[in-house]
Amino acid sequence: METAFINTPLGVTKLEGDSDGLASIKVLDADETISSHIPDSLKIAAEQLQQYFEGNRDNFDIALNPQGTDFQKRVWEALLKIPFGKTVSYLDLSKTLGDPKAIRAVAAANGKNPLWIIIPCHRVIGSDGSLTGYAGGLHRKKWLLEHESPFKQQSLFE
């Protein structure tokens, strides 16, 4: 498994993967040591994430290789179908997967997603529109949803 680090608006982000695809993305604690070297196997992923954060990309076309159970992988596949700038509820996602009663299992699988942003678990919200749980922290989920919103807030102060 190879590792790369990129600076993002959400913090220093660690990418892990190999020739089989990107396996995980993590935002690091401030005290972790990082290297600026990006292995060839992770260059496209790093470039596409930077483009996303710059507002120049709304989808990803890289090989993915997340590790999880068959159920988790089914949930993550469903997450990939949520369009950029849109949200769904955990109930909607459970219904998409064929079992409206599986909300807790779907939420747990969503929380285990190792490829946040690329597999857009941040696009899943509570049925009442609330920002519920996010492994990366609710402040990051809010940032990502605002970043993807087609309705940009304009600053009153320049």
Task: Place 157 in a pLDDT band, splitting at 50, 70 and 90.
Answer: very low
Q: Where is average pLDDT lowest: 2-16, 41-55, 99-113, 130-144?
A: 130-144
pTM for the model stands at 0.87
**Catalytic one among 15, 118, 121, 124?**
121
Distance from C-alpha of 83 to C-alpha of 61, rounded to nearest angstrom:
14
Dihedral (Cα; 9, 10, 13, 15), 10-degree rounding: -90
Task: Place 158 in a pLDDT band, splitting at 50, 70 and 90.
Answer: very low
Q: What is the pLDDT of residue 153?
A: 58
Q: Is the dihedral of CA 23, 98, 133, 123 positive or negative?
A: positive
**In the annotation, is 121 catalytic?**
yes
| CB distance 27 to 13 below 8 Å | yes
Q: What is the pLDDT of residue 151?
A: 72
- Can you give the residue ranges of every domain in the chain? 2-54, 70-148
Q: How far, CA to CA in Å, does 94 sit from each of 44, 89, 114, 127, 148?
A: 32, 9, 19, 12, 23
Percent of the chain surpassing pLDDT 90: 75
Reference 114, options 6, 15, 2; nearest CA is 15
Bridge pairing between strands 21-27 and 11-18: antiparallel
Reference 6, options 37, 52, 40; nearest CA is 37
**CATH T-level topology, domain 70-148:** Arc Repressor Mutant, subunit A (1.10.10)
The 10s digit of each residue's pLDDT in 87-130 is 999 999 999 999 999 999 999 999 999 998 999 999 999 888 88
Distance from C-alpha of 69 to C-alpha of 149, rounded to nearest angstrom:
31
**103-111 vs 70-79: helix crossing angle, rounded to 10:** 80
Q: What is the DSSP letter of 25?
A: E
Reference 53, options 121, 124, 148; nearest CA is 148
